[in-house]
Structure 1
């Protein structure tokens, strides 16, 4: 193996941790991902730093909590001053590319203030979250005008898929009995096959582009962020994946009448959203979830194709592979749809790492239940590349010790996830101002505590209540746990890394040396 391994950083948008065979789903077919877990380490208690696309990804890319980087929701620009994994890996000799989605919003005002041309080489990197945008595709709204540089739409047009927006009209729509286009945005249509051929679908195309990037990167080590849009909505799959699963494969909903008693105000407000109202219907779940599962199996099949390509060109054994997701999907659990809140269905993510090096032989096939966070990947990648982790900036911890010997003297005690629901209709139902909508979760692996500004907390015992059906946020018998975890949150806030412009090593070397530098204050 080369001294600097390639890094294949795969993210599947909205992929629930428990919708993989290796994580216990009873019927889903994910043999490729299962084999990856069997050859690597499967971190079974990994958490996103924010259970919504934008802020989650900004934490993945910066190695910092949402509180620190400030991009707390979709389309909140990431500050131009924030460094990302490309900034850390390029100086180490890596080509750092993107194929797929980032949901990053560029800091236009920051670039204007500093006189940075967005079209310059530096401006492009700042606009694309530090990645070389080999191909960025965040998906489109059905009524959105088509960007001229959206390559997937152009690709579909060249293949004869007509229309202003083939992404919507072909890849994300079905067809009625009379040939009418039925949008996949409407969940009633997700049992239909997408109009596009499977080999031209988003997942297939994204995989093709990843193969092209890898083929063109033979002259240096590379880090490719391969970011699939699916199984994120619209929930519609091409044949044969659209009917691969049936209602018999739908796991029973994790929602009980008990949860509706003494509802937390924020949960109740989210239950009023359209996605929650509809996913609370069993007929909706039985139509949507088979399509969701089909999209996951389609992803698995294309990963098999990608891994076969890596083996054919002799790079599989020289490539560290990470498979994860930005967040989960409620799918009706807890009477909710979408994500954003902190139940396991939403905040826990898959995290599988395959390190082919001999140093990782002792941990192959291991399920590791230690608390892992999304922000751990950047320091892991820096160490893999042979760099020094800038510990005054990065707030995650390198996973290399867990991937190699598995022996770590002291690992983290808590995992954190944050939410800012200022943009959601729930804010109106709760009569909150935009700066009153923060929530934060802390868990030690057993106890999960959620602090909401202006509202009472929630508390769950994941050992005795793994399905999170009993909210102990007001239970007198558990006041000590709530107090302990609230204090832990306060401690966490105090320890955020805000002195990011000078390293701890520099500070240490300057300590107590003012007189030697000529500052003779305090002398007689």
Structure 2
């Protein structure tokens, strides 16, 4: 494959189903639909960890979280484990980023020549209180999950929509200047929407009449019972049906808002005359529950949170193709190297080039793996998808097994059904070839304990928690209410 420019576009917390091209009956995403029409869309793509910072560490390095030790939203990527950016720098291929990285801090050597308007974890520490898990059995932390997400849905501009407009501005200007550059380049453009807060400009919210929104599937009123592992994630103070519908409309509207920013960037690429010489990867760091099971946010391995959108396009990519081969974020690492013309195989990473997968017959038996060690969870959770079945393995809790062909909504747990004992056994065997679930759970807890103790212990960490904000703030000058995006 001839070397080309590479443009990586990433959304934040984008539910894989909420794309027009994915068949969603309400989602309006014309720019991503058009990208899929001229490229290949992967139908079974997953994050390697359903929370921001670990997912982005896997994305940056092409390695699983348990290999690299970036466990949660306070133990962030710092360049200690080299990834695709370092490989590009070694080969003298220009590589820059625009927007959210969610690494540790800007001064770390993370494989980027320049970071434009970057977002990193706050103060290089992030949301440390969420690292308090079962390591301190005598300490009971106040529940501070994402209870307010649906209740705070509103019309308007937020610091996140202002930030995304700025990211698109910078990206468009960068691409305009790139038209005059010699040689190939790699640009990573990373948006923060549709991540909450669910505050969205009127023109996008008007696309989704609230009275036409569905109620969340398996809502509390349906009698659905959450798996015991998830009980701690139940938000205190349930949102009303009307609040849930408004939140759902706002989330869809943010998907459309983000799609519009992607459209601006792709139009700038076209106007610069670079489309025919650029391979594109669009994805998200993880998904969003969007009210399913009464949950908002991510932090579990159901399809809403663990599945991600994934589209590749550009030279040598089949057009209007749907690829059913499972893929994950670790596949981006070899894909960028492949597209840029660098060796991408046999470097010890588990991924495969998405550009090769797009050109090959479907391999539905390919294994997809994900893990979670963060956000107040009682223990580690692991996901193995192979063929039509998906296993969710919880340390110290019973497992879940779903037949995603017969039961795509994951309503029937087959793990205790003796007819599926051999399926559970096989997926457990595969899981143990990838990771030792209990040993890794202990390692994650130890690293988190050491972090909390280095900051004075759980009591001091919670006492120093001075904000109720459940998301990372954007760069200060963009967060200001006085910031007016150019052209507004």
Q: TM-score, normalised by structure 2?
A: 0.78
Given that 1:58 and 1:78 are in contact with CA atoms closer than 8 Å, whether structure 2 keeps it comes out as: yes
What's the offset of the Cα at 1:305?
2.1
Distance 2:421 2:365 in 1: 23
**Equivalent residue for 1:311?**
270
What's the offset of the Cα at 1:257?
6.8
User: 2:337 matched to 1:382?
Assistant: yes
Distance 1:292 1:479 in 2: 39
2:426 to 484, 496, 504: 484
What's the offset of the Cα at 1:444?
0.7
RMSD of equivalent CA atoms: 2.8
**Equivalent residue for 2:230?**
267
Query: Could you say if the C-alpha distance between residues 99 and 85 of structure 1 is closer, same or farther in structure 2, counting changes exceeding 3 Å?
Result: same
Matching of residues 298-337 of structure 1 within 5 Å: 298-337=257-296
Q: What whole-Å deviation, never above 9, does each CA across 1:173-218 have from its counterpart, x for those lacking one?
A: xxxxxxxxxxxx765453322278x9x8222211011122223442
What's the offset of the Cα at 1:390?
5.3
**Equivalent residue for 2:118?**
136
Given that 2:338 and 2:344 are in contact with CA atoms closer than 8 Å, whether structure 1 keeps it comes out as: yes
1:455 to 361, 381, 397: 397
**Equivalent residue for 2:238?**
278
Distance 2:259 2:89 in 1: 30
1:391 to 338, 343, 346: 346
Greater RCO, CA 8 A, separation 6+: 2
When structure 1 is superposed on structure 2, of 91-100 and 449-458 the one drifting more is 91-100
Distance 1:79 1:259 in 2: 44
What's the offset of the Cα at 1:400?
2.2
Unaligned runs of 5+ in 2: 127-147, 437-488
Distance 2:430 2:273 in 1: 47
What's the offset of the Cα at 1:393?
2.9
Query: Could you say if the C-alpha distance between residues 458 and 135 of structure 1 is closer, same or farther in structure 2, counting changes exceeding 3 Å?
Result: same
Query: Could you say if the C-alpha distance between residues 210 and 3 of structure 1 is closer, same or farther in structure 2, counting changes exceeding 3 Å?
Result: same
Q: What whole-Å deviation, never above 9, does each CA across 1:263-298 have from its counterpart, x for those lacking one?
A: 421022322x34xx535x422221112121222212
Distance 1:291 1:301 in 2: 15
Unaligned runs of 5+ in 1: 107-117, 119-123, 145-184, 428-436, 495-524
Q: TM-score, normalised by structure 1?
A: 0.73
Give the SS at the match of 2:199. coil
**Equivalent residue for 2:368?**
415
User: 2:304 matched to 1:351?
Assistant: no
Given that 1:52 and 1:326 are in contact with CA atoms closer than 8 Å, whether structure 2 keeps it comes out as: yes
Distance 1:73 1:221 in 2: 34
2:171 to 196, 210, 229: 210
When structure 1 is superposed on structure 2, of 304-313 and 257-266 the one drifting more is 257-266
Q: What whole-Å deviation, never above 9, does each CA across 1:38-67 have from its counterpart, x for those lacking one?
A: 100000100100010011111111011111
Query: Could you say if the C-alpha distance between residues 81 and 411 of structure 1 is closer, same or farther in structure 2, counting changes exceeding 3 Å?
Result: farther
Distance 1:187 1:262 in 2: 20
Tell me which structure has the larger Cα radius of gyration.
Answer: 1
Query: Could you say if the C-alpha distance between residues 202 and 140 of structure 1 is closer, same or farther in structure 2, counting changes exceeding 3 Å?
Result: farther
